[in-house]
Amino acid sequence: MSDKKPARVFHTDLWGARQAKYDWLDKHDRAHTDWKELNPKTPFHLFIPLDETLDVAYRRFASIPAIFPVNSVGIVTARDALTIHWSREETWKTVTVFSRMEPELAREGFKLGKDVQDWKVPLAQKDLLDSGPNKDMVVPVLYRPFDVRYTYYTGQSCGFICRPRPEVMRHMLAGENVALVTPKQHKDEFGALATESIGAHKAVAAYDINYYFPLYLYPSADKADLFARHDDAERVANLNAAVVSALARAHGRAPSPEEIFHYIYAVLYAPAYRAKYAEFLRIDFPRVPLTADAALFAKLADLGGRLTELHLLRSADLDPPACRFEGQGDGRVGRGRTEGVRYEPATQRVYVNAAQYFAPVAEDVWAYRVGGYQVCEKWLKDRTDRRLALDDVRTYCRIVTALKRTIALQEQIDALYPTAEADTV
């Protein structure tokens, strides 16, 4: 029998300027350091302090994957420059040209570099040729927060798109649907967003991978009828039956799938929830307290529904827009500090070049972040050297409006949220 004793784990931290840390270390050693003994537990065995009382309470909440059983990470293209484009027409042109070229010419012409294990030029071309090509397979894709672009999607693994995740994405293409996008872990800032489209694996998480949780599932479709549109009557909710039953018992009726989605969305946007469980949100999927109070559930679901409509950019509250595009010029997004994207707090102007700007854009709207992305800045900087078309201008104004309304709704959600933890199903 081994006489080894279980290891003990201790932790301390030191904050401040580098020189101050050096000075402290010069004057202290292991024996003269204020350590805190840890007791790492499953499932994470963390080597940092964690509020155990809060952890116990949080673990009682329902996890997002447990609520939405069918889910996956977003699609991985492996070659964004080839597969993701600004318009349907640009995408279709790329597909038709690329599919007909000799592999080495295609590699050179599209600057694709060397093949990797899961993505090869010949396989990508074969995928396109096997599917037609078919213009119906050009579809919208959520690329970054509020930034919907286009791709060619066949659902074929190791094809044009490296990892298309058809087990989830086909449900987004088969009929009307909405999905929650959120990461399992994050390094920068927690993010969540609703989408109607298929989406990329970093659409909401700047430095990590995000997952898609569709609200509805449609009948199984093989590759031949991947793009067949199904009637809403054929779909089923992607919701854990036990969760729905628990809510039905507590509320006296079963909430609709949309009400459940909207309630969850409201909770994930509650600043109090994000602040209280910040450390837990960094290391695993969100967990949501499902209130047993039917009236409170309905109020939060209503606010979450309004948020969802805003974030899908289809809410009636987006008209009239909160800002305008002003100044003389060609609408081209410039480069650099004086010619490119910049914000002036005093005038509440977001400049896209030396003379043209969006205004008024409040400072909190300009600074608003989703999953580490500063939305208003990121959306424009990704369009550097491009001319903003009328549709682009309209979309940006709607994004600014959506964020302004979001901040106001988050205050309303925050006033209700603490009560949601008082009595859960």
CA distance 415 to 425: 21
pLDDT category of residue 223 using cuts at 50, 70 and 90: very low
Q: Which two tokens stand for residue 207?
A: 């430095």
In 3D, which of 50, 24, 23, 25 has the Cα closest to residue 36?
50
| Chosen domain end from 186, 211, 235 | 235
Q: What is the pLDDT of residues 167-210, one digit of tens each?
A: 999 999 999 999 999 999 988 889 999 999 999 999 999 899 99
353 in Cβ contact with 334 (< 8 Å): yes
Regarding whether 111 and 231 lie in a shared domain, the answer is: yes
Regarding whether 117 and 84 lie in a shared domain, the answer is: yes
Q: Which domain holds residue 344?
A: 321-388
CA distance 225 to 332: 41
Q: What is the pLDDT of residues 14-67, one digit of tens each?
A: 878 888 888 888 888 888 888 877 677 666 555 666 667 798 899 999 999 999
Q: What is the pLDDT of residues 235-252, one digit of tens each?
A: 999 999 999 999 999 999
Query: According to the model, what pLDDT value does residue 14 have?
Result: 81
Regarding whether 370 and 304 lie in a shared domain, the answer is: no
19 inside domain: yes
Regarding whether 227 and 80 lie in a shared domain, the answer is: yes
Does this model's pTM top 0.85?
A: yes
Q: What is the mean pLDDT of residues 399-414?
A: 98
C-alpha distances out from residue 71 to 68, 79, 240, 423, Å: 7, 23, 12, 28
With a cut of 60, say whether residue 409 has pLDDT above it.
Answer: yes
Regarding whether 102 and 217 lie in a shared domain, the answer is: yes
Number of domains the chain contains: 4
Tell me if residue 16 falls in helix, strand or coil: coil
